A and B are shown apart, each in its own frame.
Chain A
């Protein structure tokens, strides 16, 4: 044990991406080095900019240490946006590779290609899908149920920083070391020590563990919030649908994420402690990893898809100017999906050696999920029926979702038939299927929700022009990028192929390449939309807070909302509480009297615990044991110290609340109510004219 070895563990010169590129200046090497340069450069530019703008103190006190669910939600979404950009660029590189590499090596070497699909998949699921939705739920759910914050604000901050820690690990893997080549599912025995001695699988294990710990805590947090912090009168059947889906997703997170954590930790035990849970010999059983992984993996796709279902329910109802059709059936369908999702996991490994009756059982169970999902689609269609539908960005995405998602559902039913699955499993047909579910089912929903709630969060609307452009890119980009994959998959092209061998595939790979570029353009449109909207914010402000003539409690306060959300906790007597208040002139009325409000103080404990564990896990990856120990000590020490702190609340005096509320009411009184067809004009100050 030399000094350097103790200090740096397995880290050597050649772990650094730039050194590798220097020694191996092939195109593949240069792409890897380029990506590392972008990661380092991006970090340096951001840090420099923050220093130049003297924004550190502001960032620290207002954001990083904040326990406000609204700010935590926004931070989740920002992180997810960064990760989405990376994962989408990786997707384009993969598509480019498959477009070029027909009977030649193309631009990325086999191991590099394997890293690309592994990071793309891992990022999209754990660091794009989950944080986008957790961010949205964090922001919106407490506002919808009339709460001041989530049940455990400090735990919320820990979850955020654990997720960010996982993201940092993924970014670090671009620059130091390499990521796993074992796919997003990381199946052993390939990921065991015997076949994969490097740091790759360790990066995968520990970044996924960070994310899963964060998600578990978030699930507990949100479920308790919905159970315990609803405003008086907000009974179960009065909950907005987005809150229902948040609850079901949280329950899924509580039960489905632990199997993943267990699976990755047992794999870690194999790799670090010489255990044999999943090895081929000495009593290991790799099928149990597969089983545990999909016990998590299938509910996971519903974790990703249920909250967008909630978003669509809100968006379609608001922009159709109608009550949601079939509320009760939507609630039952959501619950049914949540429970059924625990009975189908085996469809991810039909071909891995069970007997036929078991496959048949899981195949049928899988098809059953189509029923509640179909119910939902009909409910949304009936909600639009005879409504005053405003076809803005969010509605376009919602309708685009309905059309596209049904196609993906159909291919899902096809895959659920075990004999058919034997033919197309592990082909691009499967890739087309699940992107067909996740892009409309998850990303479109997030974009629709982002457009819908953005004015509430920031006080001004998003640009409609750029929103539409984004929609056209995403919608047509999706079809162009993934329909060819159905064709190629049926033709037998294996997924995760670095090189193809049939020149007849070229037209399809080129169309898919074009589609992927269009999708990237769509993402660029989203960012341009944000930029343009910030620039034009003076003409799109909606301070009164109800720009869409919407129905839920989240629209009943100023935009952006005060940090305590509600000046007085509302009393709920019907579903769509704010709609009825508007109807009976109960909205925009001062309270009888205001009380002091207690809020959690900012705390740096969340960031310390999160970053401590991240450092610990990073130490594990590189076998830097002192760092692992130090990080763990910081995390544990902070957690213990925090539990002895008593002075963690602060009081907002009643006068201040009253003054803020009065200012807002004056603003509302001065605003001109506008009818719905003017809502995209500068006339819209966030006060809706009553139109029934």
Chain B
């Protein structure tokens, strides 16, 4: 079977994405497992790596780039971002507010 160049390019992005995902996950685990930093700092590192991970997924697996993304793609991403922001920020506010009474 002949592999067309576009198929090849596709395959390469998937492979890059897969590689990056594994590396990013590996680093996170390593920070926890080998206790490389203080717990709070580890939190920050994992949060940062997770955000990069999201970008990797969007770029390599969902093929969303800034240039050719169509309007509906953009709308969907903005909408998802809005809802996720609502849920994540809401959770943080609520749970942190309760913290004093949870002790």
Which residues does A use to contact B, with CB under 8 Å? Answer: 227, 251, 255, 259, 285, 287-288, 291-292, 295, 339, 342-343, 345-346, 352-355, 358
Contacts and interface: CB of A to CB of B under 8 A. Distances in A.
A501 B18 CA distance: 63
A353 B101 contact: yes
B69 interface: no
30 contacts: A227-B72, A251-B79, A255-B80, A255-B83, A255-B84, A255-B87, A259-B87, A285-B102, A287-B94, A288-B95, A291-B91, A291-B95, A292-B91, A295-B90, A295-B91, A339-B83, A342-B83, A342-B87, A343-B90, A345-B90, A346-B90, A346-B94, A352-B98, A353-B101, A353-B102, A354-B97, A355-B97, A358-B93, A358-B94, A358-B97
Contacts of B72: 227
A342 B94 contact: no
B86 interface: yes
Contacts of B87: 255, 259, 295, 342
Contact of B102 (A227, A287, A345): A287
Interface in B70-99: 72, 79-80, 82-84, 86-87, 90-91, 93-95, 97-98
Contacts of B86: 342-343
Interface majority SS (helix, strand, loop, mixed), chain B? helix
A343 B82 CA distance: 11
Interface of B: 72, 79-80, 82-84, 86-87, 90-91, 93-95, 97-98, 101-102
A24 B84 CA distance: 51
A352 B91 CA distance: 14
B33 to A, nearest CB: 17
Contacts of A227: 72
A346 B98 CA distance: 12
Contacts of A345: 90
Contacts of A292: 91
Contacts of A339: 82-83
A287 B94 CA distance: 9
B89 to A, nearest CB: 11
A287 B95 contact: yes
Given A255-B83, A285-B102, 10 more contacts: A255-B87, A259-B87, A287-B98, A288-B91, A291-B91, A291-B94, A291-B95, A346-B94, A353-B101, A354-B94
Ordered nearest first, which 6 A-B pairs have the shortest CB separation? A353-B101, A353-B98, A255-B83, A342-B86, A354-B97, A287-B98
A353 B93 CA distance: 13
